[in-house]
Amino acid sequence: EEPAKQMPYNDGINIIPTPVSLVQNEGSYKLNKNTQIYASTPEAKTVAAFFAAKMNTATGYQVAVSDKEVSNGISLIIDENLDVNDEGYTLDVTTENTNIKAKTPQGLFYGMQSFMQLLPAEIESPSVVKGIAWTAPAVTIKDEPRFGYRGIMLDPCRHFIPVENIKKQLDVLALFKINRMHWHLTDDQGWRIEIKKYPKLTEIGSKRIDGEGTEYSGFYTQDEIKDIVKYAADRFITVVPEIEIPGHELAAISAYPELSCKSESITPRVIWGVEDVVLCAGKEETFEFLENVISEVVPLFPGEYFHIGGDECPKDSWKNCPLCQKRIKEEGLKGDAKHSAEEKLQSYFVQRMEKVLAKHGKKIIGWDEILQGGLAPTAAVMSWRGEEGGIDAASMDHEVIMTPGSNGMYIDQFQGDSKIEPVSIGGYDPLSKVYSYNPTPDTLVAQGKDKFIKGVQCNVWSEYMYNTDLMEYRIYPRIMALAEIAWTPMNRKDYKDFERRIDNAYVRLDGHDINYHIPQPEQPNGSCNFVAFTDSTTLEF
C-alpha cells in the first residue's frame, strides 16, 4: 500500500498559513442545508455558533449548533490531552463528517478557520451565493503555531481609522490566525483615546489643522474601545494598547503644556517627523498624569502587555531643563561610556512606568530605544530598528517581538514600483521580502536564546494612508505573508506555493470588500513619473 501523501505544494489546498502537517485523502465532505455542528462545551458552542452564522450567510443553509453528537455533521471537541499547544488543533475531514479537536476554544476556532479555507472561497461572501457545491477535500491536519504573538500594528493617529473599519480588519485578520492587534493610540499628530480625567487630550489633542485650514480629527470613546476589544476577543485577537512616552508627545502637550519641560504653547503636529517637545522627566506632575491615564486605560484592555512606546525621544530639552538635570543628580544617573545621563533618565522614566503597570498586573513592552540607559528589569522589547535591539534583549532573557523595518515588517513602505504606486513613506517591501523574513536570528539560535522571541509583527504607520482604502492597499496581501511566517514552521514555508494560494485568498478578501494590492507590471525606467494621491501641501519629509 502506498503511504499517504504529505502534500508538497498543498496541491489544490489553499490554507494560509500552511498547516504543520496535512495529508489529503480520497473524496470530499459536503455541507448541506441541515448540517449540524456538535460542540462539546459551552465555549465550544460559542465558536460553533460563530461559524454557523458565517456559513449560513454565504450558503443560505440553516446550519445549527447541537448539544448532541451528530452524524454527517461537524464536531468541535475540547480534548485537554491533545498533543498540540494551546492554539493548536487537529482537523479530520472525511466523506462522512468533520472532526475538530483542540485543547482550547481558540484552537477550535483555528480548526474551523482552516475548515472554512477548505471550502470554496465564496464562503466568505456577505450574502448568499447560489450554484456552488460547498465541499471540502478530505484531509487529516495536525497544526499549531510557531509563535504565540502574531501581530499587526495599526496607527489611527496620523490618519484615523473608524470603528467599523477596525472591525472589518479584525474579521479578515482572524481568517489568517493573526492574534494581536497593537493599537498605537497616541502620537504627535493626534491623541485618539478618551481619558475622562483629562478631557482636553481629545478636545484639543485629537484635532489638527491640515493643509489649507481644514480640521482633521477623530478619537475613540472608552465605550467604543470596549466594543472593539470585545469584537477582537470574539475572534481570539488580543488588543495591545500603546500610550507613547516620553517622546512623540505633541498632541498631549498641546492639551496640557505643563507636561513638557518648557510648558510651550503648541498644536498637534501637522507634518511628520520627530520634534524635541517631550514629557518633562523632572516634574512629578508628569508621572501623576501618566498614572491617572494608565489607571483609565488598563481596565479597557485585558491582555498581558501594555505598550509604552519609547521610540525617538530626542534628549536636548532634557539636557537644558533644570528640573530634569536636578532629577539626574538626585537619582545619581551619571553618564558613562555606554549611556549618557539623559539616556539613563529615559530608563528611569520607563522603570517608573514599569512599576505603575506592574501594580495593575501588566507587563510593559516598548520600542527598542528602551534599551538605552539600561533595560527595565521585566520589560519586553519590540525590535524595529533592525534586529539588534531584539537580539540584545533576548540575550539578556527579555521577551522580544520582532518587527524590523529592514526586514520587510514595515508595510507602510512601497510594495511595488514607486512610479506607479500611491505615494508612501518610501522603502521597498514586496510580498516576497515579507515572506522571507525569519524572526529568529541565527546568533540567538546558537546561544539557545531564540525562545525569547515571542513573535513577529507588521507595522502599518499611516502618515501616507489618507483613508482606509489606502491602508488596506498596504496591508493586503502582505499581512498574509506575516501570518505564514508567524505560524508555519520554516520547513513548510514555500513562496511559490504561497503565491498560488493567495489567488484563492483574494476571493475571500473580495467577500470582505478589501481594497488589496494587485501586482502591477513594472514600468520601464523613467517612462512614468506620476504619483497618485499626493498631498504636497501638508507633507514634508
Site residues for ligand NAG per CB under 6 A: 311-312, 367, 384, 410, 412, 425, 461, 463
Judged by beta carbon, residue 354 or residue 463, the one nearer ligand NAG is 463
CB 167 → ligand NAG: shortest distance, Å?
Answer: 23
Judged by beta carbon, residue 174 or residue 181, the one nearer ligand NAG is 181
Residue nearest to ligand NAG (CB): 461
Judged by beta carbon, residue 463 or residue 472, the one nearer ligand NAG is 463
Judged by beta carbon, residue 76 or residue 313, the one nearer ligand NAG is 313
3-state secondary structure 340-371: CHHHHHHHHHHHHHHHHHHHCCCEEEEEHHHH
DSSP code of residue 312: S
CB 65 → ligand NAG: shortest distance, Å?
Answer: 44
CB 203 → ligand NAG: shortest distance, Å?
Answer: 24
Question: Exactly one of 124, 187, 472, 484 is catalytic; which is it?
Answer: 187
Question: Exactly one of 312, 392, 494, 510 is catalytic; which is it?
Answer: 312
Task: Say if residues 483 and 456 touch (Cβ distance below 8 Å).
Answer: no
Judged by beta carbon, residue 124 or residue 463, the one nearer ligand NAG is 463
DSSP code of residue 279: B
Residues 6 or more apart whose Cβ sits within 8 Å of residue 138: 24, 25, 26, 27, 28, 29, 93, 94, 95
Question: Exactly one of 159, 182, 184, 248 is catalytic; which is it?
Answer: 248
Is 312 assigned a catalytic role?
yes
- CA angle 388/392/356 to nearest 5° reads 115
Amino acid at 384: W
Radius of gyration (C-alpha) of the chain in whole angstroms: 25
Residues 6 or more apart whose Cβ sits within 8 Å of residue 33: 59, 60, 61, 62, 63
DSSP code of residue 518: -
CB 375 → ligand NAG: shortest distance, Å?
Answer: 16
CB 311 → ligand NAG: shortest distance, Å?
Answer: 4
* Dihedrals phi, psi of 174, to nearest 5 degrees: -65, -30
CA–CA distance, 538 with 360 (Å, rounded to integer): 40
Judged by beta carbon, residue 495 or residue 541, the one nearer ligand NAG is 541
3-state helix, strand, coil in the chain (%, to 5): 35, 20, 45
Task: Say if residues 228 and 291 touch (Cβ distance below 8 Å).
Answer: no
Is 513 assigned a catalytic role?
no
CB 231 → ligand NAG: shortest distance, Å?
Answer: 25
Annotated catalytic residues are 187, 248, 312
